[in-house]
């Protein structure tokens, strides 16, 4: 394993090892990578690891497509010539040019406006860029890494993301596991982050009792590693140089109760979002399902749960995902779900799920 990857991405769980292997395999090639994963799961770190292990001598240039308004994003990406718009008093290189010889990281690519998607597609096809207000083609050689927390196939289906651009960026997808899916890594990540926080901010590093570490490992972490980092920052402030107990963790550090039903559902929904995830490495052994045991501690953190509604929501997402995966073939979807075909059809009727691209002909023998 390239040690640069290990230095950047901490973790020894099966899910993380698998991901690091994929990073290592793809890093030295010019292939475009699409990093998928929930908020706070470490998508940006994956981009850094790919660049570090790529051997490319240029820089890693990041652009957050969601954070920059559409009108500015174009000149940010492609640069502009002097006088091309009010306020453009100097010519400026775009981020694409700056990434020459290196890696261009387009974060939150799912949020890129449609008009810019066409322009990006042209750049990817021609490997040249034209500054705003300019008319010369500038050759660029960069490795593209994109990231998103969105379901890109759904964006394509609803028409807000160009299918041709999606195919171009989705050459090699890498799914970042949720922290709950690699909870065995929580102690290692916790110690790494505490060391980082101490190195950067000084302060007396608290220590965690074993039971406190167990408590952290059991929490479902809907905000993933970023949430863990926030909790540890809070711990540095509240318990400098002290021994943190499991009671401290539960009562002072973890967010205790979701304020209302909708937030609770949002957190759950987020936690199960990836069930409908884009088709990833086909023979990936581990399904990215929240482990049922993660619900064991539910009532330590939340007041209640609408269980029937939640289970129904999971059913809907899984059935729709299976149908999409099997191109609407009901019997194939039933196989994916390990259900009898007739049981699946019954469920689809009850949940009012239609086969994609069909007018409810679930009763015909075609599936
Ligand atoms: N394996 C890890 N080891 C240590 N720290 C990590 C790890 N993964 C993520 N982090 C830390 O967690 C935080 C969130 O990571 P990052 O910004 O890469 O996530 P993200 O998926 O890009 O999030 P978002 O979707 O919110 O942009 C960062 O502070 C990062 O350093
Ligand atoms: Mg990010």
Fold of 261-350: Arc Repressor Mutant, subunit A (1.10.10)
Establish whether residue 314 lines the binding site of ligand 1, counting it when its CB lies within 6 angstroms of any ligand atom. Answer: no
Establish whether residue 39 lines the binding site of ligand 1, counting it when its CB lies within 6 angstroms of any ligand atom. Answer: yes
What gap in Å lies between CA 236 and CA 219, rounded to an integer? Answer: 19
Establish whether residue 110 lines the binding site of ligand 1, counting it when its CB lies within 6 angstroms of any ligand atom. Answer: no
Phi, psi of 35 (to 5 degrees): -95, 120
pTM of the model: 0.73
For position 301, what pLDDT does the model report?
66
Q: Which atom of ligand 1 is found nearest the CA of 228?
A: 12
Which residues make up the CATH 1.10.8.60 domain(s) of the chain? 180-253
Sheet holding 172-175, edge to edge: 60-64, 103-107, 143-148, 33-36, 172-175
- In the structure, what pLDDT confidence band is assigned to residue 49 with cuts at 50, 70 and 90? very high
Which residues make up the CATH 3.40.50.300 domain(s) of the chain? 3-175
Say if domain 180-253 classifies as CATH 3.40.1170.60. Answer: no
- To test the pocket of ligand 1, the residue of 19, 42, 106, 109 to mutate (highest count of ligand atoms within 8 Å of its CB) is 42
Establish whether residue 41 lines the binding site of ligand 1, counting it when its CB lies within 6 angstroms of any ligand atom. Answer: yes
Fold of 3-175: Rossmann fold (3.40.50)
Residue 224 CA to ligand 1 center (angstroms) comes to 8
Establish whether residue 20 lines the binding site of ligand 1, counting it when its CB lies within 6 angstroms of any ligand atom. Answer: no
Establish whether residue 9 lines the binding site of ligand 1, counting it when its CB lies within 6 angstroms of any ligand atom. Answer: yes
Contact 9, 20 (CB under 8 A): yes
299-342 pLDDT per residue, tens: 766 777 888 888 888 899 899 999 999 999 999 999 999 999 99
Contact 93, 133 (CB under 8 A): no
For position 82, what pLDDT does the model report?
87
Which residues make up the CATH 1.10.10 domain(s) of the chain? 261-350
**What is the rounded average pLDDT of the residues 216-238?**
93
What gap in Å lies between CA 218 and CA 294, rounded to an integer? Answer: 7
- In the structure, what pLDDT confidence band is assigned to residue 281 with cuts at 50, 70 and 90? very low
- In the structure, what pLDDT confidence band is assigned to residue 201 with cuts at 50, 70 and 90? confident
Nearest to 101 by CA among 174, 30, 25: 30
């Amino acid at each position: 394993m390239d040690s640069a990857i290990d230095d950047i991405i901490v973790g020894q769980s099966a899910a993380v090892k698998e991901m690091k292997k994929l990073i290592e395999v793809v890093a030295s090639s010019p292939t475009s990578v699409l990093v998928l994963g929930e908020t706070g799961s470490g998508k940006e770190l994956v981009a850094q690891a790919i660049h570090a292990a790529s051997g490319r001598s240029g820089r890693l240039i990041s652009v957050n497509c969601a954070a920059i308004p559409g009108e500015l994003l174009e000149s940010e990406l492609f640069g502009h010539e002097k006088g091309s718009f009010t306020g453009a008093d100097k010519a400026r290189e775009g981020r694409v040019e700056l990434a020459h010889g290196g890696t261009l990281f387009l974060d939150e690519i799912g949020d890129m406006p449609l008009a810019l998607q066409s322009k990006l597609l042209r750049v990817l096809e021609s490997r040249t860029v034209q500054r705003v207000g300019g008319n010369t083609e500038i050759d660029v050689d960069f490795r593209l890494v994109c990231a998103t927390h969105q379901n890109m196939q759904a964006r394509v289906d609803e028409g807000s993301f160009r299918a041709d651009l999606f195919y171009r960026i989705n050459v090699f997808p890498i799914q970042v596991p949720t922290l709950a899916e690699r909870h065995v890594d929580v102690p290692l990540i916790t110690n790494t982050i505490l060391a980082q926080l101490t190195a950067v901010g000084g302060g007396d590093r608290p220590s965690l009792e074993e039971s406190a570490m167990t408590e952290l490992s059991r929490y479902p972490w809907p905000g993933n590693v970023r949430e863990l980092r926030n909790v540890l920052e809070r711990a540095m402030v509240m318990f400098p140089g002290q021994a943190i107990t499991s009671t401290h963790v539960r009562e002072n550090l973890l967010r205790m109760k979701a304020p209302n039903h909708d937030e609770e559902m949002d957190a759950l929904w987020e936690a199960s979002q990836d069930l409908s995830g884009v088709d990833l490495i086909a023979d990936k052994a581990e399904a990215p399902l929240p482990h049922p045991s993660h619900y064991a501690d539910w009532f330590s953190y939340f007041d209640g749960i609408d269980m029937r509604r939640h289970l129904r929501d999971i059913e809907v997402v899984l059935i729709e995902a299976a149908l999409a995966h099997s191109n609407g073939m009901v019997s194939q979807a039933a196989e994916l779900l390990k259900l009898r075909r007739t049981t699946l059809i019954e469920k689809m009727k009850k949940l009012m799920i239609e086969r994609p691209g069909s007018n409810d002909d679930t009763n015909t023998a075609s599936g």
